[in-house]
Amino acid sequence: MPWFIPLIVVALLSACSATRSGRPVIDNGIAPIPGSVTYGGQPHTKLSKAPVGSGFSHEFYNQNGNRVVERYVIQPDRSLKITSQEIVNLPENNN
């Protein structure tokens, strides 16, 4: 067996289980972070009156003090899916 085949197998296996920062990556590649509505799993209460496909924004500050803006869409099973996550680096105040 050629020497490089085990290297290829290891690379493929590690790519299959890769996550971003040790957090599970959702199907669109956006993982919840501390402060996200879905961090630690789906919320216990379901948005039963909101129409499927409707969305909302959630803003918070992360542990570094940067503003995070997330956009969620309600799925047919009433779960929430993060569709975008933007981390805004705030300028330092050098007064």
User: Could you report the per-residue pLDDT of 1-30, keeping only the tens digit for each?
Assistant: 565 455 454 444 444 434 444 444 456 789
Cβ atoms within 10 A of the Cβ of 26, count?
14
CA 56, CA 71: separation in Å to the nearest integer? 6
Q: Which two tokens stand for residue 2?
A: 């050629």
Q: Which of 43-52, 65-74, 76-85 has the lowest mean pLDDT?
A: 43-52
CA 32, CA 3: separation in Å to the nearest integer? 39
For residue 82, with 0-12 CB atoms within 10 Å meaning exposed, 13-18 middle and 19 or more buried, which class applies? buried
User: Could you report the per-residue pLDDT of 22-65, keeping only the tens digit for each?
Assistant: 444 456 789 999 999 999 999 988 788 889 999 999 999 999 89
